[in-house]
Chains A and B, each alone.
Chain A
Amino acid sequence: MFVEALLTGITLGGMYALVAMGLTLQYGVARIMNLSYGEILVAAAFAVFWLFTVAGFNPLIGMAMVAPAALVINWVIYRILLLPLVRRAKTRDALEVDSILATFGLLFVVQGVMLVLFGGAYYSYSFLAIPVDVFGVTIAANRLLALAFAAVIGLALYIGLTRTRAGTALRAVAVDPVSAQLVAIDVRAAAAIAFALGGGLVAAGGVLVSMFLTFNANIGVVFTMKALIVVIMGGVGNMLGALVAGLILGLTETFVATWIDPGLTLAATYSIFLIILLVRPQGLFGRGGR
């Protein structure tokens, strides 16, 4: 039972970590607190559902179509909806407030469209629902596949951000947007790219989640909240922090649901969140004052 809960928790935590990495990019680099973030996840889940059940595309092929599309769409959202806010914001803090309001509106637009298209019912599809034996425990192959993909995507992102010049430039904007201009980085362009990358990541997360969880048009906000918690727990802009905090959250939820009561998972999530906020307000890996 322990190993089973551990595997389930790591899978769930891996999803949280992947999704949070995207949010921490959007918030850390572009300073957009994106409340419609989870809606992109749900929209990607529906898109891949449609591609699989109607058009007959394997969800992995679906992901190869949906994630790049989400990247482009998010870039367009940034250029059209958010760039005017960036232009008129006098400070980064003002931008944060404006972006919360704008993306709060966007949340309902996207959610409304999905409700019209799919209604409020729960959806799921059966892809690779084959039991696999791992350390004497059976787990569905789709979960393992989702975990493996989350790990590969997360690792690729981490390497891209830390080992390439373009990635280092994105981190530089997160650390100090004023100084970033002094090394010829176009901060607005970097912010648009970070926002788009975040959108692509959450869409990939949505596809992976849809392989083994049921979803409906209303659950986006749950993922936004959890991603937000993971980002704050890990330290804003910190990829490793997002990974560790995501795993902590996934494991805690699974352990509480397995041994205490499934109804207490959210309570456990928020308790950990509150404890970390009290003890380390800058997050597990965050630096003070930022």
Chain B
Amino acid sequence: MLEIADLSVSYGKHRAVDNVALTVAQSEIVVILGANGSGKTSLLKAIGGIQPAASGARIMLAGADLSRLRAHAIVEAGLALVPEGRGIFGELTVRENLMLGAYAKRARAGEAENLDRVLTLFPRLGERLAQAARTMSGGEQQMVAIGRALMSAPDILLLDEPSLGLSPLMCGELFGALTRIRQAGIGVLLVEQNAKRSLAIADRGYLLENGRIVGQGAAASLQKDPAVQRAYLGVAQSAV
């Protein structure tokens, strides 16, 4: 269980994330919907320790406080981030990327098992293990990024706009994979612009606007919420 409270991020005077509180349980997909510039990426980076959060934030994972840890120690504690732009090692091969995913001490014992699981989830990676990651398509690179994160045996997986720039077909494959990751007991926190697809697989959702949480609820009820439909699902206002 990931529990976040009072999380703020500022760039100079600009407050990108303002007192955010949210939770993600195991075996649950939680989506954060928000427009460009709403603070989604800053929020995920702060949770992952890549971006410093304002003091006073509480980031608890299974009872342990992550808010003071450096990024590498946060991965060690069981939280893996797939950043915007994927952040894979383009010069290294797929195999090396996945092997580095299991660099965390917590991941060493189950490495072979996790590799099997990742290659079952993304069979395409198995055919390309010796290929330099940067020579692959966008969708395949996203698979490498998610596979690498799963290799660290996380309790919680954070994903920043994984569907960005992918074909509809690849998108479907990706979201399908996320539901199977949930089945494995991992909690998924997903930041997405593709509200329709992400609400379809999510259990719960939060709405982020100007750095604040302005709404939350079960994914099914968010899908039916007229305000959400207008803002994120592109449903025509009066279809009479």
Contacts and interface: CB of A to CB of B under 8 A. Distances in A.
A185 B49 CA distance: 13
B103 A184 contact: yes
Interface in A138-179: 165, 168-169, 171-172, 175-176, 178-179
A93 interface: no
Nearest to B76: A184
B196 interface: no
B91 A185 contact: no
A172 B92 contact: yes
A263 B101 CA distance: 52
Given A172-B92, A175-B91, A186 B50 contact: no
Contacts of B91: 171, 175, 287
A180 B91 CA distance: 13
B104 interface: yes
Contacts of B96: 168, 172
Nearest to B158: A182
A178 B100 contact: no
A183 B152 contact: yes
A169 B83 contact: no
A187 interface: yes
A181 interface: yes
A171 B97 CA distance: 11
A175 B89 contact: yes
B125 interface: no
A179 to B, nearest CB: 4
Contact of B103 (A165, A171, A178): A165
Contacts of B76: 184
A179 B88 contact: yes
A185 B72 contact: yes
B52 to A, nearest CB: 12
Interface centre among A171, A175, A184 (most CB of B within 10 A): A184
Contacts of B88: 179
A185 B50 contact: no
Contacts of A287: 91
Nearest to A166: B103
B213 interface: no
A165 B49 CA distance: 23
A234 to B, nearest CB: 15
A75 B73 CA distance: 22
Contacts of A183: 75, 100-101, 103-104, 148, 152
B83 A182 contact: yes
A179 B103 contact: no
Interface string B55-72: 000000000000000111
A169 B49 contact: no
A187 B72 CA distance: 8
Nearest to B104: A184
Given A165-B99, A171-B92, A176-B89, A186 B70 contact: yes
Nearest to A169: B103
A182 B73 CA distance: 9
B48 interface: yes
A179 B87 contact: yes
A178 B71 CA distance: 9
Contacts of A186: 70, 72-73
Nearest to B98: A183
B70 A179 contact: no
Interface of A: 165, 168-169, 171-172, 175-176, 178-187, 287
15 contacts: A165-B100, A169-B103, A171-B91, A172-B89, A172-B96, A175-B91, A178-B87, A179-B89, A181-B50, A182-B48, A182-B75, A184-B72, A184-B76, A184-B105, A186-B70
5 smallest CB-CB distances across A and B, nearest first, come from: A184-B104, A181-B71, A179-B87, A184-B75, A183-B100
